[in-house]
Structure 1
Amino acid sequence: MKLLLDIHHEELAPVRRLVASGELIMRQGDPAESLMLLTSGKVAIQVRLIEPEPHTLAVIEAEELLGEMGLFGSGQHSADVRVVEGPAELVEVSVDNFLKTLLFDVDLAMEMLALVSQRCMRSNEVIALLLSGIAAGERGDTTQLSQLEKAIQPLNYCLSTAMERLVTIGKARSPHPSSPALKP
């Protein structure tokens, strides 16, 4: 993606930004007016739904694109993006400039489709692992829960935390050798 952005430097009119640790780069619900390429530092992708504290979905490192979901989705950011290790350096491009360039460059369009598809496939894998974990937890299958916990850990920060909770619940529900089986 960085190479394609370099090729279209003039049309995209990128702006370099340096953002300190703790600062918010994108706010959930705000209009998606730009895309950003993280070139150094780390950011956390966080969502706020019911609970006052946000849930961290992922921690992203350099050479990742940020804001594409708002571009192709609702036109709003679906999550907060906060610098957790910085300063973070970003290359920011306006949505208008990006869409105009995308219309005339098939390679850029294909790169975006590949990125979005890859992220969707990864999300499907994580959701399937989590659903398998819920089923294993219902059965009290602590062996499968432990295997699933190891499989999900490198894929998704937030859901690996959820899987850890399922393991704890599964262990609590699992019958002890000297006690009768627990019924749901």
Structure 2
Amino acid sequence: MWGDESQLKIVRERIKLLLKIHYADLAPVQRLASQGDLLMRQGDPATSLMLLTSGKVAVQIQLLEPRPHTLAVLEAEELLGEMGLFGTGIHSADVRVVEGPAELIEVSGDNFLKTLLFDVDLAMEMLSLVSQRCKSGNRVIGLLLDGIAAAHRGDTAQLAAIASAIRPLDHCLSLAGDRLVELGERRA
């Protein structure tokens, strides 16, 4: 996803190590999913955590628009489902295989949460990962809000800078940045 990739890489490696240490307690299940398979559905209960070991998945959210928005495309070594597991207990987005087959390691939420009770390091790594994702999401929201304000003013220079900052994050966000630039140009 978006964020400080060096920090995220360290967190991912540490989580993989800790998952190996707690293998017996976690009772992981290997899963294979085909392209197009829905792994998690927005609005469903979050009952497990998955580690994507190969393939690509898209995190998509559908709110008011008829088509879902792709928030991120994730590759191997990403954790899936942690936000629902640690948050409201409900998935806030769909997770669909977009390049597969995808190989995953699935752990029940109950087993994972029990393991966290006895491993402060694992709990801290999960907090770090969730915190980094929230921080990155806040940055994107801030950029989009700045873009809306710049489009309203017709400030094409600021819009170009914002679009440049958004473009490398994700295809869907890149499209949003481009749309803001178009709106600003119409306003100018």
Using the size of structure 1 for normalisation, the TM-score is 0.91
Distance in 1 between the 2:51 and 2:159 partners? Answer: 36
Distance in 2 between the 1:116 and 1:172 partners? Answer: 38
SS in 2 for 1:49: coil
Q: Report the counterpart of residue 46 of structure 1 in structure 2.
A: 60
Using the size of structure 2 for normalisation, the TM-score is 0.89
CA shift, 1:159, in A, is: 2.8
Q: Which amino acid aligns with 1:88?
A: A
Q: Which amino acid aligns with 1:59?
A: V
CA shift, 1:52, in A, is: 2.8
Q: Which amino acid aligns with 2:37?
A: E
SS in 2 for 1:76: coil
RMSD: 1.0
SS in 1 for 2:60: strand
For residues 132-151 of structure 1, the aligned pairs below 5 Å read 132-151=146-165
Q: Report the counterpart of residue 76 of structure 1 in structure 2.
A: 90
Q: Report the counterpart of residue 94 of structure 1 in structure 2.
A: 108
CA shift, 1:155, in A, is: 2.5
- Structure 1 gap ranges (5+): 175-184
Contact 1:38 1:63 in 2 (8 A): yes
Q: Report the counterpart of residue 35 of structure 2 in structure 1.
A: 21
Identity %: 72
Greater radius of gyration (CA): 1
Q: Report the counterpart of residue 158 of structure 1 in structure 2.
A: 172
- Structure 2 gap ranges (5+): 1-14
Q: Report the counterpart of residue 129 of structure 2 in structure 1.
A: 115
Q: Which has the higher helix share?
A: 2
Deviations 1:63-117 (A, max 9, x none): 1110011111111111100000011111000000000000000110010010011
